[in-house]
Amino acid sequence: MAAPMRGMSVLRQAFQGLVRPSGGQVCRQVQHRCYSTPGHVQVDMNSETGVATVRLNRPPVNSLNLDVLTELSIALEKLETDKSCKAMVLASAAPGIFSAGLDILEMYQSTPERCVAFWRALQDAWLNLYGSRLVTMAAIEGHSPAGGCLLAMSCDYRVMAEGKFQIGLNETKLGIVAPFWFTDVMLNTIGHRETEKALQLGALYSAQQALSIGLVDKVVPLAEVMPTVEGELKNWLQIPAAARVITKTSMRKAVLDRLRSQKEKDAQFFADFINRDSVQKSLGMYIASLQKKKN
Ligand code: CO8
């Protein structure tokens, strides 16, 4: 337990120094504040438009480990309190990938203490994203399974690149179960019937299939994803912010409160569940299948 928490605190301090808008390490351009971080989350704040672009940057697949989730959470907290920030685009710095979801190695042969710390970091990142006052849009320029799909669904709007990329909550295929709050977000996004099918089958959808069930809002060629997001943002930013935020909060509060009221229980459940022999065996087989695919 001690090691990861110490690591997190160093990371947190380092990141807080970097993202302070007036801080010495922020590289200023005419319109952009580039929060060049030592880690895996890049924040580029356009001070003219008030739009921040947050890029996951953990090649090759942006799998979400404790450090990435902690950095993401801190970046979101900072943007939330930055009065000049009106919107946030969640994107990827890794070509062909939005995010491969949770880092499976955080869940395989890990200690219960590390599992709890990891899960708390995921909870916090999600609470910050789903509960954000900002207009949030996902620019999905690649694959987005499992935790990647959760992040995308937690934004207000999703634009996905057409082609070979897939999105969905595929947990059952790993022999694990999507937590209740993943389910809640999917229910709020695509409704009960589609969620039942999607979750039981661990379905991964092409961009067109995702569009047809409402999992994403627009599908465009890869090069058009960012321009489309920027165009859509203009519509959202025309709406009076206070009215939009109250509406968003009222729509999402019940789901957020459900996790907030049982964070520790949920983290403990995760640590116990993931360390079951049967679950570890399934994860081991899944990791082997990923490696086999490559060979
Ligand atoms: N975690 C860790 N490593 C990963 C992950 C991951 N999620 N995904 C891929 N990798 C690794 C691969 O093993 C490979 O490693 P190496 O180079 O050492 O062999 C490397 O990343 C590159 O992967 P690929 O060669 O497969 O890359 P491709 O570009 O061909 O494919 C994909 C990209 C489509 C994303 C593919 O890697 C893939 O399908 N990955 C698995 C995605 C997945 O199933 N994620 C599920 C994670 S579980 C989750 O997010 C929610 C869990 C909730 C738990 C609830 C319990 C109660």
Please list, in sequence order, all residues whose beta carbon lies within 8 angstroms of the beta carbon of residue 75, skipping any fewer than 6 positions away. Answer: 15, 19, 35, 41, 43, 54
147 is catalytic: yes
147, 148, 168, 202: the active-site residue: 147
170 is catalytic: yes
For residue range 132-155, what is the model confidence (pLDDT) as tens digits? 999 999 999 999 999 999 999 999
188 is catalytic: no
162 is catalytic: no
DSSP character at residue 172 = G
Distance in angstroms (rounded) separating the CA atoms of residues 37 and 26: 9
- pLDDT at position 34: 58
**Pocket lined around ligand 1, Cβ cut-off 6 Å:** 60-61, 63, 96, 100-105, 143, 145-147, 170-171, 174, 176-177, 179, 270, 273-274, 290-291, 293-294
Nearest to 37 by CA among 52, 55, 49: 55
- pLDDT at position 285: 95
- Mean residue pLDDT across the chain: 90
Q: Is the peptide bond before 240 cis (omega within 30 degrees of 0)?
A: no
- pLDDT at position 10: 31
- pLDDT at position 33: 61
Residue 25 has pLDDT above 60, yes or no: no
- pLDDT at position 37: 53
131, 171, 204, 232: the active-site residue: 171
Q: Average pLDDT for residues 27-49, to the nearest whole number?
A: 72
- In this prediction, residue 24 has a pLDDT band, given cuts at 50, 70 and 90, of very low
- In this prediction, residue 158 has a pLDDT band, given cuts at 50, 70 and 90, of very high
Percent of the chain with pLDDT over 90: 85
Greater confidence (292 vs 21) lies with 292
- In ligand 1, which atom is closest to the CA atom of 170? 44
- pLDDT at position 39: 84
CA 240 to centroid of ligand 1, rounded, Å? 40
Q: Average pLDDT for residues 53-60, to the nearest whole number?
A: 97
Q: Average pLDDT for residues 282-292, to the nearest whole number?
A: 93
Q: Which residue out of 56, 67, 104 has the highest number of ligand 1 atoms within 8 Å of its CB and is therefore the one to mutate?
A: 104
